[in-house]
Amino acid sequence: MTILTTFILVGMVDTHDTHFATVELNTTPASNGGPAIAVMPVTAFPCEIYEGKVFYVVKLHDEQDAVIVCQKEPEDEEPRRGKTD
């Protein structure tokens, strides 16, 4: 059995509450399997999350753990808060 030692997954938040987020994860490049669904603790994200927020799960070296990196918000746009007024 071969274990992935380096990878990048592209994720998007589907829903979340105060404790958990349901997310879709896709491989890069995309595979035939389609997206995987996962439930992750909100505390795992180093940024504010909202429905549609894009993030990356990155593991670049054998000896390092995977880390979550949030997609940067456009400079001319304020971060979304998940609510519309």
What gap in Å lies between CA 47 and CA 83, rounded to an integer? 16
Q: What pLDDT shows up at residue 77?
A: 64
Q: Which CATH architecture has domain 7-70?
A: Beta Barrel (2.40)
The CA distances from residue 24 to 61, 67, 76, 85, in Å, are 23, 16, 27, 26
Yes or no: say if 13 and 38 are a contact pair by the CB < 8 Å rule: no
Q: Where are the domains of the chain?
A: 7-70
Using pLDDT thresholds of 50, 70 and 90, give the confidence band for residue 73: confident
Tell me the per-residue pLDDT of 15-58, one tens digit each, with 9 for 90 and over: 999 999 999 999 877 777 788 999 999 999 999 999 999 999 99
Q: Is the pTM of this model over 0.95?
A: no
